[in-house]
Structure 1
Amino acid sequence: MSDQHLNDELRQRLQNWPVLFQKYAQASTKKAILQMISTFLPYLGLWVLMYWSTFYSWWITLGLAAINAFFLVRIFIIQHDCGHRSFLQNQTANKIIGWICSFFSTIPYSYWAGVHNFHHGHSGQLEVETRDIGDLMVMTVKEFREATPLQRLGYRIYRMPIVTFVIAPVIYLGLYNRIPLVNLSGWKKIHTQLHLNNLALVALYLLLGWLLGWQRFLFIQLSIVFLFGIIAMWFFYVQHQHEGAYKEWKDKWEYVLSAVKGSTYYKLPRIMQWLTGNIGFHHIHHLNSKIPNYNLEKCATDNAFLDKYITTVTFWESLKYMHNKLWCEEKKRMITFIEYYHREYVRGLQMERA
């Protein structure tokens, strides 16, 4: 079946998607409270255990940090849902919980929520002014071909795994979420909230460093946040950088196709799905961001017809996505640098013969 036929079929089946998914977009106070208990208590318990482990072995502390980083992912998923106003029905409670979560994740609540919601409304659009807001930078084949040698080198360095998944998360958490680089219309209040969040986070770190000792506090906290950043960046990459992703110019862009084709279903073992707050059901999340994370699996199970149109990927299969570097508008897919240079070589031969 051709891609065009599948797209037409998907449009038809999801023409009433707001109604189809409405019942799953109902927040549950009970589920939300249970999720907070099963997330914050283990995180805090492991944090205390990490503190005591520093008196015996820093390596044990790092091992515990690798586990606790996933509980920080769960905390961030709660913050993420609060930013979508989906975690609880009460919006004041969502804001309070979201702000509390931000002190754990170090990601400012209001500012990040604004950027992320913009991403949901523009995911997959190729316009330069919107492409990178809330998303990873991706160049098209045409842009890479027309770039200067220095620009190409910079992009190739940026897309190196060690940079994308290790260095970039540090810059993202330490710089991009600390200063108001995104400035959309009416964002003055959001920028003010960002500065307040920065001041409150610094005050909290100063207090905890003074109480617990700077060396131990910073080693524990920064190791958790560092590993959390790597996990978060990897998930976001896998969910939007797959080979058959969806990217179009605004005049041809379609929300439904962007949600379903532009997002993967990251099929993980049950424990990993739980630790990552069901965010692997990313196609469902992009179709309706008002569905809280604890309802995503139910929605996906009840609407299994979507499996025909989505990209389902396991962890081992997702590792090959690291090689996806450029968006090919001609083939409508992500390609590797090797593919690009091979095609450019063939293209050059054809031009010589012409």
Structure 2
Amino acid sequence: MKRIKLLLTVLITLPFCLSAQKSDKKIDELVFLFVDGKYDKLVYKAQSAMEDDDLRRHPLPYIYCSMAYYEMSKLPGKYSVGEKESEFPNPLKDAQKYLYKFIQKDSKAQKYYETNWYDDFKEYYINIADTSNKMAQFLFLNEKYSKAASVYKAAARGVPADPVLKLWLGINYIKAKNTNEGKLALIEAMKEIDEKFVPSKATSAVLPHGLQLAEELLRSNELYTEADKAKKLVEVFKKYDPDELDKKKMEERQAKAKEAAKDDRVMRQFYSDEDDEDNKDRKGNVIIKDGYGSNGNGTENKDADSKLDEIEKEAEDDGNDN
């Protein structure tokens, strides 16, 4: 009877085991394509896996699809990207979109797979946030606020752990006259940013300026509590400002130069005038044997020349006497 029950258990679980093996094999294929740099094939393979019954709840096809799009966005010469007629017109936007879907799927993964994968890709989140921020900053500086807001919106959804993206989303929303959405984004960002906040290396450089702009926009929209907080935090995070970093580097270089000068003065003491037999009785100009003085005059050499002239003159006089 026990054997029959065991057999029934095996028969019941066998399809699930085979399904798991099949799923693992398909995931491995995605990994190999990514490692081989076949990003265009990876996109299609990952999208196919998303429609598979065995993998439709699995987060990994989404993250690999996102990373493939992201890598192609950096290789416009190799892949058909960036143009309306391209095979992949908006690779960065698609990378952000599938990253967001990955996060959604991964939040439920524990239920189906007894594990999560979010922490396995932290370096990728920094990379895509960095690229997204740089693109959005370019658009912002060119006063294309709506487009900048679009980039920041997708980035903030894909990398929700970085509130600096949300901060700049709010700034660009308000600049683009989408004031209500902008205020909401700024309020949410200011809830997450405080004195203990440690910014990502992807967005730390734009945090001080973002806080300055946020303070102005919040105050002009009568959000005084958030505005006061932003103003206070500018001082806390100004150390991340590139200008401040350059200033700090300059101060460090100046300190090293002063230290080097101090060491040089110490070394000079070993060669003081008191130890210089040629110059111990002189003040001012320094005589260097068989050379020139510090003023460009060879005083000691002048004496030698005079002596030679006297000898030659005596020789001439002797010749005349004869």
TM-score with structure 1 setting the length: 0.27
Which is richer in helix? 2
TM-score with structure 2 setting the length: 0.29
Which protein shows a greater Rg?
Answer: 2
